[in-house]
Chains A and B, each alone.
Chain A
Amino acid sequence: MSEKKRIRRKIHHKGRSFLLVLSLLSLLVGGCWDDRELNELGIVSGSAYDWEDDQWKATYQVINPSSGSSSMGGSGGGSTSSPPFLTYTVKGSTIIQAVERTNLTSTRELFFSHSRVTVIGESLAKQGISQLVDLFLRRPDARETVYVFITEGEAGRILDQLMQLTKNQGAGIQLMIEQEAKLTSYFPGIQMYELAMQMTSDSGSTTVPEIKLTGNRVMDRTDDTAQTDLPSRIAFGRLGVLKEDRFVGWLSQREAFGLSFMTDKIKAANISFPSIPEKSDRDDASVTLLHSSTSVHPIWENDHYVMDIDIKAGAILTEIGSELDLEKASSMRQMERSIENNILEIIDNSWHAVKKLNADVTGFAVSIHRNHPKQWKRIKQEGSWDTVFQKVEIRPHVKVKIERIGLSGRSYKSLELK
């Protein structure tokens, strides 16, 4: 009896194991449709797009693994003479066509998942970049977290430039912009998905930092980097403004700074100001903002919106060139006033520039939608946001508190005078 049962059980299990084996086999027979070996991949670290002769002109920066660009060194594989990356420039009527053509000239299949930066040429930005954004959101291997930059002139040039200290230029630029956003907050770096979010938001406008070369020459030879002071380096310049998906103009660094205040993008910033405004207008002190928060409240006044911008910040004194007595509360108040005025001026400055461009990069539309949904619906129906925006008035209030004065209790100048 039990023997029979055992046999039946065995047969039963045979069925199961057969299923198991079958499933495994089919997995294996499945073959490999999707595998790509590492040495068949052209790892793209950055891409640049221009518009030329009614065509896309795409430049791809492909990492050259054998040059040891991971800066890991050691393994001795890489010769220093080969460049850490190569660039391919191709034209096509669509972006994918350009990619295809790159594959015609390259030994390796382009792989975009590790792309860090995308540089858009001004020519393309004027033409509209929605197609590009769409590509980034659509392709599974294109990551939405690339940083977007805009450049005056040809975008492809930027990617040819070699960097010092970092061999992988794309990652280097990413480091630069992240550093920048953390330390100075002039241009909050914008990633592709943020760009898409802002372009689809109620304001429909966005800002993209400018990337440029400080000199005229492109340092694209490996022996070029063998000097301490490169004549031409990669740097951030101004802030490009896009309305809908088109480039409409630039904001200077100072104007961009004001915009950061209005849009609550300040993480840390340095502000220079005259410590004793009644004595001289010259900036002779600076503080680092440790934290800052901005809240925007739209108020409907008669026939236009007034944006009530409330900025609260805390700062640490980092430098002072006057004999101000730091121990007195009144002098601290005095400095705080001076900083606040400074910020107000920056904001005002920036607001004028923004208004002139007539692009709602401040995100006022969003805050009006959030706070006055009914009015917003009307504005939207009428499609009158542009005119409403022109009439918007801002009413900034700044409150800065110097929280710490650093390690030295008095200004050095005041010691000197004694």
Chain B
Amino acid sequence: MKEKISTYQAVLLIVSAIFPTAIVVLPVIIGKYLEQDSPLAVIFSGLVGLGIAWLIGSLIKATGDAPFLEWVGNKISPVFAVLIGIFLLQYYLDLTTNVLRVYVNFIKENVLLNTPTVITAVIIMLVTLYMINRGIEAISRINSIVNLMLLMVFPLYIWGLTKHINLHRLLPIFDHSAASLTLASLTPIGWMSEVSVLLFIAPYLKFPRKSTFIGVIGICLVTLAMFVEIIMTLLVFGPQYMKNIAYPIFSTISIIQVGRFIENLDVLFISYWTMSVYMKIAIFMFATVQCFKQTFRIRNDKPYTVALSIVVITECLYTWREPEKLNIFNEEGRIIVFLLFNILLPMGILLWTRIKEPVIKRKEYKT
């Protein structure tokens, strides 16, 4: 009696797949190029994101109910599928590692200053493993609760900050060139393209045909949330100051003061955020395992899951040890990888099958 993931749960999964890590660094990355025009970049990347969602959606529609890589294997060639699988595996491993590293860094910098990173990384990974073990259905159920909590947290956030808002901080609009808009949008577009994780969640959906809808609504929600966040940060801190703080969202929260009693709410928000990052990491770890499973056609993935998570931990601890490297990759390197794996690859496969399909059909017709 395994219940499949309903459409609205899937939408929230998409939100969790993109939002948690974006929320922390978004204002800094966009603000650097666009200052008070930053909301434009969010909207722009949201639009591009919609396109990507549509692309991924139609690819899933094409696959039917079959797992993605199997379908590629059948349609194009098994060797090609394995090849793509290996590349995608590498991509998802990297992505999971990256999320883990961002998470670990954050905990290290804000919450547990002296605890060794190994410990935090291992604990996070253990929790993630347990989550995967309980299945994507359980993850998606909890994910919707976590996201619904966001609905309660957001008004609190906005209400708490109303006292500090100055609308003039948004002026002057359109102060920046199109070039800086593109530059600023690149990273958010990269995040939006993470919607492609749907490819691996699709077989677990109740209605895989609705993938386009799921992706589009998911992207819309993410764009909305990002938009609110960046607008609030701008309104409270102004463009110049925003660029200079490492975690603007938590800085905005830390100035919220309700009466004389409730202050320093940031720890509460951090706790909430902790949960949502767990969701994100679990989703991508799940995608990694799925990718591994499909590439090497493995039935029982349990032992490999542990191995994969060990790979993730080691990669996290040794490759991304220096924060500068991570920052550079986050800002520059990532976008290429994202473009390649989330846009070009699906597009290529979709085109390939579209071109080939008529040929096959014609053949069938003849025989």
The answer to whether any beta carbons of A and B sit under 8 Å apart in the complex is yes
B-binding segment of A15-23, A58-66, A399-407: A15-23
Q: Given that A201-B238, A373-B175 are known contacts, is A22 also in contact with B244, CB under 8 Å in the complex?
A: no
- B348 surroundings in chain A (CB, below 8 A): none
Segment 113-145 of B: residues with Cβ below 8 Å from A: 113-116, 119, 122-123, 126-127, 129-130, 133
B110 at the interface (CB under 8 A from A): yes
Contact pick for A34, options B112, B237, B263, CB 8 Å:
B112
Contact pick for A370, options B126, B168, B245, CB 8 Å:
B168
A143 at the interface (CB under 8 A from B): yes
- A200 surroundings in chain B (CB, below 8 A): 240-241, 244
- A15 surroundings in chain B (CB, below 8 A): 302
A383 at the interface (CB under 8 A from B): no
Contact pick for B123, options A30, A191, A197, CB 8 Å:
A30
Segment 230-246 of B: residues with Cβ below 8 Å from A: 237-238, 240-241, 244-245
Are B264's CB and A143's CB within 8 A?
A: yes
A-binding segment of B16-24, B56-64, B196-204, B249-257: B249-257
Segment 179-217 of A: residues with Cβ below 8 Å from B: 191, 193, 196-197, 200-202
- A415 surroundings in chain B (CB, below 8 A): none
B171 at the interface (CB under 8 A from A): yes
Q: Which residue of B lies closest to A141 (CB)?
A: B113
Contact pick for A193, options B168, B172, B241, CB 8 Å:
B241
A318 at the interface (CB under 8 A from B): no
Shortest beta-carbon distance from B164 to chain A in Å:
9
Are B172's CB and A19's CB within 8 A?
A: no
Are B123's CB and A27's CB within 8 A?
A: yes
- Give the CA-CA distance A23 to B129 in the complex, in Å: 10
Are B255's CB and A26's CB within 8 A?
A: no
Are A33's CB and B237's CB within 8 A?
A: no
B109 at the interface (CB under 8 A from A): yes
Are B115's CB and A34's CB within 8 A?
A: yes
- A22 surroundings in chain B (CB, below 8 A): 126
- B130 surroundings in chain A (CB, below 8 A): 16, 19-20, 23
Shortest beta-carbon distance from B168 to chain A in Å:
6
A77 at the interface (CB under 8 A from B): no
Segment 245-278 of B: residues with Cβ below 8 Å from A: 245, 251, 254-255, 257, 263-264
Q: Which residue of A lies closest to B110 (CB)?
A: A140
**Interface of chain A: mostly helix, strand, loop or mixed:** helix
- Give the CA-CA distance A201 to B119 in the complex, in Å: 41
- Give the CA-CA distance A16 to B237 in the complex, in Å: 47
| Total contacting residues, chain A, CB less than 8 A | 30
- A191 surroundings in chain B (CB, below 8 A): 255
A371 at the interface (CB under 8 A from B): yes
Are B251's CB and A193's CB within 8 A?
A: yes
- A137 surroundings in chain B (CB, below 8 A): 244-245
- A196 surroundings in chain B (CB, below 8 A): 241, 244
Shortest beta-carbon distance from A124 to chain B in Å:
22
- B109 surroundings in chain A (CB, below 8 A): 140
- Give the CA-CA distance A68 to B89 in the complex, in Å: 61
Are B237's CB and A197's CB within 8 A?
A: yes
| Total contacting residues, chain B, CB less than 8 A | 33
Are A144's CB and B240's CB within 8 A?
A: no
Shortest beta-carbon distance from A204 to chain B in Å:
10
Segment 296-325 of A: residues with Cβ below 8 Å from B: none
- A164 surroundings in chain B (CB, below 8 A): none
- B111 surroundings in chain A (CB, below 8 A): 34
Shortest beta-carbon distance from B180 to chain A in Å:
14
Contact pick for A145, options B115, B116, B245, B263, CB 8 Å:
B263
A390 at the interface (CB under 8 A from B): no
A167 at the interface (CB under 8 A from B): no
- B119 surroundings in chain A (CB, below 8 A): 26, 30
Q: Which residue of B lies closest to A363 (CB)?
A: B168
Shortest beta-carbon distance from B264 to chain A in Å:
7
Q: Which residue of B lies closest to A296 (CB)?
A: B168
Q: Given that A19-B133, A26-B123, A196-B241 are known contacts, is A144 also in contact with B255, CB under 8 Å in the complex?
A: yes
- A197 surroundings in chain B (CB, below 8 A): 237-238, 240-241
Q: Which residue of B lies closest to A139 (CB)?
A: B113
- B110 surroundings in chain A (CB, below 8 A): 140
A113 at the interface (CB under 8 A from B): yes
- A373 surroundings in chain B (CB, below 8 A): 172, 175
- Give the CA-CA distance A367 to B169 in the complex, in Å: 10
Q: Which residue of A lies closest to B256 (CB)?
A: A145
- Give the CA-CA distance A369 to B257 in the complex, in Å: 30
Q: Which residue of B lies closest to A29 (CB)?
A: B119
Segment 308-366 of A: residues with Cβ below 8 Å from B: 366
Segment 1-43 of A: residues with Cβ below 8 Å from B: 15-16, 19-20, 22-23, 26-27, 30, 33-34
Q: Which residue of B lies closest to A145 (CB)?
A: B255
- B244 surroundings in chain A (CB, below 8 A): 137, 196, 200
Shortest beta-carbon distance from B289 to chain A in Å:
15
- Give the CA-CA distance A323 to B255 in the complex, in Å: 49
A/B interface sample: 29 pairs, CB < 8 A: A15-B302, A16-B130, A16-B133, A19-B130, A19-B133, A23-B123, A26-B119, A26-B122, A26-B123, A30-B119, A33-B112, A33-B114, A33-B115, A34-B112, A113-B264, A143-B254, A143-B264, A144-B251, A144-B254, A145-B254, A145-B257, A145-B263, A191-B255, A193-B237, A196-B244, A197-B238, A200-B240, A200-B241, A370-B168
Q: A23-B123, A200-B244 are in contact. List 16 more A-B contacts (CB 8 A).
A: A15-B302, A19-B129, A19-B133, A22-B126, A23-B129, A26-B119, A26-B122, A26-B126, A30-B119, A143-B264, A193-B251, A197-B237, A197-B240, A201-B238, A370-B168, A370-B172
| B→A interface (CB under 8 Å) | 109-116, 119, 122-123, 126-127, 129-130, 133, 168, 171-172, 175, 237-238, 240-241, 244-245, 251, 254-255, 257, 263-264, 302
Q: Which 3 A-B pairs have the closest CB atoms?
A: A370-B171, A23-B126, A33-B114
